[in-house]
Chains A and B, each alone.
Chain A
């Protein structure tokens, strides 16, 4: 049967209950400053990598917290770890460690990434 109407397509919505926040948990357990981000975007604004390619640490941050892991998996590899974001973050998030831990977590738990 064809479906019409207002059904929301599956990929659009954050399915918070179905998503796994294992990766975010792995990171915040080891780097508690991961929790205090207020999404100001300063890291993404100053980002050396973001200057060349679409890469927003702020966005990856919030996606991980919502369990939208699959879009982070590839993107997180782009970071050059230069540390500018650490220097501008008004909340003192240890961003370099967050990136490193996220990469580590995706290695350790490949299932969560899909």
Chain B
């Protein structure tokens, strides 16, 4: 009989895993909490480093998950997995139960809630927005301030909720730097007369063609980079935002007025993932992401046999890495179900 695999989370990792499981001959159920699958991909306009539209990736994922043998259940929040003699009982919030021979968890990440850094004024000052808010503006085709004016100067703050022990996140989300560079370029593209300033602690451009994108931002788009963490933001009488930072390379405090401030919210373990880890006894690391059985050669394995991880529920990853990680999870599932049959 056909083995049944449940995939929890219908983002990039979940969809990719579902598609590959189906290709490998399994019956697949893909659970997604939102009304449609796609995860954060639905919110993003263009992707780094090549600035292709995220919808292209989404189209690919939709295609591979539209095959027979994949059942997509949307609007369903899975809150418990119980392991029972090579079988898993999976129950959702409404108490519906499903059974599976193996489970892939792909609950992904949540963006850091920027209002937790009160000193940056998100939710207090109208023109302080997050990277996700800016993507929405890109999709709508217009970047404007709360009162409808066009911003002339835009500040971008790196490391919001990452590398910050004050919010309990010691780790680097590793993709905000390149996102900042990509978004800086896009702002300049949309608003050629604007000035853009990135406030960074370190530029972590460790992916393929990231450093090149950084260079392009400087060379072709005139984006300014200032090395210094922003300490606080206030509002001036003219409704501009006043940023306080230190230009650490010049060795002097720096005060700047901008029209708009974009916060590069970091990645955190998703709330759904946290609940699942509590209810189902899945190990978490100090960074609160799921802790794989081995960071080197078991990054898809959980502490429970038959439950596997795919994607950013284990650590911040870009789409390329997420897709590879999801395929690797499928390979682990194949091994596991082959063994359990014997």
Contacts and interface: CB of A to CB of B under 8 A. Distances in A.
A56 B228 CA distance: 12
A58 B246 contact: yes
B226 to A, nearest CB: 10
Contacts, number: 65
Interface string B251-285: 11110000000000000000000000000000000
Interface string B191-205: 000000000011000
Interface in A41-62: 41-47, 50-51, 54, 56, 58-59
Interface centre among B159, B164, B202 (most CB of A within 10 A): B164
B166 A46 contact: no
Contacts of A92: 165-166
Contacts of A90: 159, 163-166, 201, 229
Nearest to B255: A45
A44 B165 contact: no
Chain A interface SS verdict (over half): loop
B3 to A, nearest CB: 47
B91 to A, nearest CB: 40
A39 B202 CA distance: 10
A51 B242 CA distance: 14
A42 B165 CA distance: 13
Given A47-B253, A56-B246, A41 B165 contact: no
B119 interface: yes
A47 B246 CA distance: 10
B248 interface: yes
A59 B246 CA distance: 10
Contacts of B247: 41
Contact of B248 (A50, A51, A58): A58
B253 A56 contact: yes
Interface of B: 119, 159, 163-166, 201-202, 227-232, 244-248, 251-254
7 contacts: A44-B248, A44-B253, A45-B229, A45-B230, A45-B244, A47-B253, A92-B165
